[in-house]
Structure 1
Amino acid sequence: MSFNFELPETKGTYCILFVIDTLLFKVKSGKQFLLKKGVYVYVGSAFGSGGLRKRISRHLRKKKKKHWHLDFISTDSSFKVLEIWIIEDRKLECSLANSISETEKPVIGFGSTDCNCPSHLFRVSEVENLRKRLLEKFNVKIFKI
């Protein structure tokens, strides 16, 4: 996937806002997920080599080995990214997920196997309200696709 912008190479926290058709899939652990058609936001962090640009670019590639939970969604033909929200140089993955869970419906057990959060994936009811709230609370940078 190509962008008309450059994602930062810095480390940080990110959200991927996307739409998907109804999708039933099983991750490597055997846990099964059913996502209904709609808009979702996934929260992640990139503190390894390559930072945000490398991690997000990998998530958005269609052809890849399925490693993270998001890979089972992002390889589906109906997966379409709407926006990417970034917070550079700050590890706020769980804080961001907890804040999103105040208004959006979590997909329990998704993307949060290495922390105590119920989820890092949420079905979004109102994009504008969520975007505004996260801009105010976390000062996210928004990249529109």
Structure 2
Amino acid sequence: MKFKVRSGREFSLKSGYYIYVGSAFGSGGLRKRISRHLKKEKKKHWHLDFISTDSSFKAFEVWVIEDKKVECFLANSISKTEKTITGFGSTDCKCPSHLFRVSEIENLRKRILEEFNVKIFKI
């Protein structure tokens, strides 16, 4: 899948599993942000919107860490073992990315569950 975000930057993603790391401390909080990201029809604002509106996109889990600002810590932890999609979703921080292509989802899930207090919701 190839797509261009609002800034004009182009990204190309191979088929496979990806994990996106984001936060939701604004109006409406976590529930509103997640439900927005799962909608197919929406105004494209965040980088993730350009993926989630594509017909090939299918969310299968949402990993939640409530009431803690750990977005960049989580992204840095994931970047140690997974392929970074450089410049995606991290324009407001110093992280190289907040999107990662996952080589082995079970191993990553287990490691993240051990490192962070994560709740996992099946979609």
TM bucket (normalised to shorter chain) is over 0.9
Of residues 90, 96, 102 in structure 1, which corresponds to 2:74?
96
- Between the two proteins, the alignment pairs up a number of residues equal to 123
Hey, which of these two has a bigger chunk of helix by percent? 2
CA-to-aligned-CA distance 1:85-143 (integer Å, 9 cap, x gap): 00011010000000000100010000000000000000000000000001000020010
Which consecutive residues of structure 2, in runs of 5 or more, have no partner in the other structure?
A: none
2:8 aligned with 1:30, yes or no? Answer: yes
2:55 aligned with 1:77, yes or no? Answer: yes
Of residues 64, 69, 84 in structure 1, which corresponds to 2:42?
64
2:108 aligned partner: 130
1:38 CA displacement? 0.7
CA-to-aligned-CA distance 1:10-35 (integer Å, 9 cap, x gap): xxxxxxxxxxxxx1011111100000
Q: Secondary structure at the match of 2:96?
A: coil
RMSD: 0.5
Q: Secondary structure at the match of 1:139?
A: coil
Of residues 14, 17, 20 in structure 2, which corresponds to 1:42?
20
Q: Secondary structure at the match of 1:81?
A: coil
* Aligned partner letter, 1:105: K
Q: Secondary structure at the match of 1:45?
A: coil
CA distance in 1, matches of 2:29, 2:8: 29
CA-to-aligned-CA distance 1:37-96 (integer Å, 9 cap, x gap): 110000000001211100010001000000000000000011101110000110100000
* Aligned partner letter, 2:86: I
TM-score, L = length of structure 2: 0.99
